Amino acid sequence: MVSPEERRPPAGDLASLSELDEASLLGGLRERFLRQQVYTDVGDILIAMNPFQPLPLYGREVSERYRHHQTGTLPPHIFSVASRAYHAMLGHRGGGPQSQCIVISGESGAGKTESTKLLLQHIMNLCKGNSQLEQQILQVNPLLEAFGNAQTVMNDNSSRFGKYIQLRFQKNTVRGAKLSEYLLEKSRVVRQDPGERNFHIFYYMFAGLSSEEKEMYGLLDPSLYRYISGRFGTEDVAQCWKQKYQEVCNALDMVGFQEQEQVDMQAILAGVLSLGNVTFEPEERNGSVKVSEASWGWLKAAAGQFGVQEDELLKCLICTMSVTRGEQIQRFHTQQQAEDARDSIAKVAYGRVFCWIVCKINELLAENVDPEVELSEIGILDIFGFENFAVNRFEQLCINLANEQLQHFFNRHIFELEQAAYKEEELPWETITFNNNEPILKLLLAKPLGLLSLLDEQSAFPQATDRTFVDKLNSSFKGNLHFQPGRGRVLGFSIIHYAGKVQYSAGGFLEKNRDTLPANVRGLFINSITPLLSVLFTATISRTGTLMPHVKPKVVPGADDKFNSTRKQSAGAQFRHSLMMLMERMYSANPHFVRCIKPNSQKEPGVVDSQVVLLQLRYNGLLETIRIRRDGFSWRPSFEEFAERYGIILVKPDVSLTKESCLEILQSTELTGWMCGKSRLFFKYWHQEQLAKYVAQLEGAAVVIQKVFRGFKCRRSYLKLVAEVRAEAQRLQEEAERERSRQLAVEAEAQKRISLPVPMPRKRRPQPCPHPDKSSEPPVPRPRSKLTEFTPFDNFLDPSAPRPVLGTEEETGEEVKMRKCKRGATLRWFKETQAKKVIQDDGAFPSWLHGMISRREAENLLIDKPLGCFLVRISQSRPGYTLTYRGEGRCRHYMIQVQPNARYVILGEDRAHASLTRLVRYHQTVGIQPFMELLTVPCGQKSSESLDYEDLECLKLTPSEDKGGTPPEEQPCPSGPSTSRPGLQSGAAAVLRHVWFRRSKNCQKEQREDKRTKPSSGKKTGSQRAFPRFHSSIRLAMQEIQQLSSTTLKNSAQSCCEALSIKDLEPK
């Protein structure tokens, strides 16, 4: 039954305002914001105001409250949008399962990126799959923020690219994810406006890398680098960046990037920075250019960091090679052309690194399911907000075009389609006018006379300039209401967008649209000894600008003769295609809208600038949105869909899918305010939730009926079985009575005959089972626990005798064989890949490692231990480990997964570790989620006579073994710091001797290699650590730069001293 209060729109919903005008709308938002209620509903649309401060609204307990909340029972929240989309995807909100998309829009600095992270966090909490995939998906955002976000004058963490995250679900479990990126602002790599910074990752590297790692990558003081404007942050900011760098490295490990890939990636970024410091000066002889004397060291450093030859990189910068009729022609660059080539290489290299990161994420997070399985989807769009800076360039035009497209999608879904349905169904409706931005989209996207088409046309002419492009626009759009030519001699134009007038500077439009790559650069980088750089430039670019890596044979430098042979499409055309594909995905899904509002331009918490907020409310069309949500019908199911979903309300079988059935269903409820059309029903946005309550009541009643019926059925079966048992017992008793009577009759008959008794055959006494010769095979001690004390272990010594397995007495032979195979495979995995990493310097395993023991045995070992005691055991059925923890009143078992990139992660945790030992040490100071339990005391072995890892005993090394000592069966093998174990049994001596011999030979060989590769500084190198390929060349180049800097400084100081002394000698 729905109460009258539930029939009204919920609290916090602006659609329930009695007076609808700008003043009441602004007053309601201001009042809620000052009470720290930053979320407000407009029907099923959420308005989110950026608080510019952390609020206690997003903890796990808050997320749990919004898992299954009903509209009106909890305040508006970003989590409610995620829950609504998730349950609609599963088909819980009327209609069948359908793909969903969440569109987050707003201007720069309104909080879109944070809203995306919160939506992902809650959706992963709703899945409750407890898989590592969920944590990997959550780590994607901090990774992309580091490489794709930067500080601007409007936002300290502005997204300089757009992304669309597609979460793929099988039923209610996430199975994979796919990421699409749009229009990275590559020009920011080489130039930033005043008050802005380069991409975050450059600053994170300088703050987070140690001095040794900076030397390895060839990084000097950040003030020396031109691409970051020679500016760095304060000490507090640098400390924050250092923490961010650690988060980025952890995200790379969690998602699955290999260590060498991470090293190559950072070497390429260091090469981009070094390349930016290469300057040019004119050559006096032939009018060409040369690298200035002061920047030769930077050129050498960049070549080493890219893994290419210095002279080949120099050729790409100062000249262009072409082939005409089989003859090579060398054309030298001017100084401006050389600088443009340098910046182009830097932009392309960074852009391809970013695209590769996205491709790698998609590869690692791809769904691993049968292709025939149908998956549902939730898409989240986080795209750059509307921008209007003091100087607006090509990037701002593309960003604002994307926002125009999103506003058109919103208008079409909220206004056009809805009002067209009212007209088609002949409902009484007063048309609501709205700001239609379709003419602006035609101005920008039309063919062949749209702005982007004209830009492509001009870019195709080698002699065209930005001035000819502006002249073409002025002549083509003369008289257009949304276009204004630049005043005077200003090289620019203005467009009247839906959010206001924006003036664009046309300088650099053609060059950025062409996105040229200097000749021979592709061939040079394909032949780089840095594998990642070779992969980046072997790959091709799709129509939408996506990197498509593929294996291709190396090419000879100079094979690409044309200056722009690798670029098939302009940047504008790629962006247009990617935007078109994005809109196709969104139109095929059911949308949910989040409108982000920036309360003030100063980024101050608790401050509402009425003019700033009102401007955003106007161009977002929120007043018209509230009116159509208050008076309109946002849910419009057909008769068939409604009757199929809600026919259960009539509580009768075979409900026909007709209009009459729909009306009968609605009349049996207390819903009001709905309308009936010719082919569909029209409901307010809250009706769907109220109908769901009716269905939930009936489903609850159905569960009760099923429970009672199943109980009745089981009881009837039970009584039948009891009756059968009793009848069988009575039958047996009767047969026993008859047998006893017959025996008595036989005995009586025998007494009458008085015959001699017949002797009965004597029963044989049981003979003891012969044991094997104990002198040849003494008993091997097995791991003991309370579960195994009653089981003799002598049977294990007879190879022909079956070995008892606890708890598996009813297992079939096939199951036992499969279990043994899994155990053997896991042991091989440990011995081949893990043993060397786990064994300590003294040759023994850590005291907390207990080998391959069962869950019950681990619990028995910890049953009398203090709180926080723990052990790590090898899994019996999979390659991996399990951490068993002694908790309050019970033991907890945490699965430890070894990822393909050799990182160790506790399932459900958001941190990856380089080794098992580091994982244990980390959680001795940081609790394990979700109970935040700290590891305190390791559970050691009970004694040297009952080691838990006897299967692994052959892998232990003692100091004497390292020096080529005796085999393990001839010497004691310690089990801990102060315990030792007698020699192993002779039965296993041959196997152990073989393993020990192989192990000791490998150890001696590795020691010889370590001594041969160990540097004079005494630091470990070799396979234990990844290095850039040209590490020595980078180090030499850095030394040359430092010497040149010190010489320059010394000369300047000497000249100052000479000037001062000359001044002193001058007569006064």
Q: Which residues are catalytic?
A: 108-109, 113, 155, 158-159, 385, 387
Q: What is the spatial distance between Cα 662 and Cα 649, in angstroms, rounded to a whole number?
A: 10
Q: Which ranges constitute the DSSP H helices of 899-947? A: 916-922
Q: Are residues 482 and 443 in contact, defined by beta-carbon separation less than 8 angstroms?
A: yes
| DSSP helix/strand/coil, 892 | strand
What number of other Cβ atoms are within 10 A of residue 824's Cβ?
11
Peptide bond between residue 930 and the one before it cis (omega within 30 degrees of 0): yes
Of 196, 198, 200, 111, residue with least CA distance to 390: 196
C-alpha to C-alpha distances, 524 to 310, 454, 538, 644, 698, nearest whole angstrom: 11, 34, 11, 64, 70
Q: What is the spatial distance between Cα 320 and Cα 331, in angstroms, rounded to a whole number?
A: 5
Q: Is the dihedral of CA 94, 95, 100, 106 positive or negative?
A: negative
| DSSP helix/strand/coil, 631 | helix
Q: Which helix (H) or strand (E) holds 682?
A: strand 681-682
- Residue-wise DSSP of 458-495: HHT-TT--HHHHHHHHHHHSTT-TTEEEPSTT-SEEEE
| DSSP helix/strand/coil, 216 | helix
Q: Are residues 145 and 200 in contact, defined by beta-carbon separation less than 8 angstroms?
A: yes
Contacts of 355 (CB under 8 A, 6+ apart): 181, 184, 545, 546, 547
What number of other Cβ atoms are within 10 A of residue 685's Cβ?
21
| Pairing state between β 100-105 and 376-382 | parallel
Of 108, 805, 636, residue with least CA distance to 400: 108
Provide the strand spans (E) within 779-910: 870-874, 881-886, 891-898, 904-906
Q: Is the dihedral of CA 454, 459, 460, 461 positive or negative?
A: positive
The structure tokens listed for 281 are 């000066």
Q: Are residues 30 and 607 in contact, defined by beta-carbon separation less than 8 angstroms?
A: no
Q: What is the spatial distance between Cα 417 and Cα 396, in angstroms, rounded to a whole number?
A: 30
The structure tokens listed for 27 are 């007053």
Q: Are residues 834 and 828 in contact, defined by beta-carbon separation less than 8 angstroms?
A: no
| DSSP helix/strand/coil, 870 | strand
Peptide bond between residue 194 and the one before it cis (omega within 30 degrees of 0): no
State the angle between helix axes of 22-34 and 610-619 in degrees (0 to 180), rounded to the nearest 10: 120
Q: Are residues 897 and 132 in contact, defined by beta-carbon separation less than 8 angstroms?
A: yes
The structure tokens listed for 982 are 């007698």
Q: What is the spatial distance between Cα 287 and Cα 318, in angstroms, rounded to a whole number?
A: 12
Q: Which ranges constitute the DSSP H helices of 412-448? A: 417-424, 438-445
Q: What is the spatial distance between Cα 185 and Cα 227, in angstroms, rounded to a whole number?
A: 14
Q: Which helix (H) or strand (E) holds 170?
A: strand 162-170
The alpha carbon of residue 512 and the mean position of all alpha carbons in its chain are separated, in whole angstroms, by 31
Q: Is the dihedral of CA 9, 10, 12, 18 positive or negative?
A: positive
Q: What is the spatial distance between Cα 44 and Cα 495, in angstroms, rounded to a whole number?
A: 32
The structure tokens listed for 806 are 């606890």
Rg value, the chain, Cα = 38
Q: What is the spatial distance between Cα 303 and Cα 318, in angstroms, rounded to a whole number?
A: 15
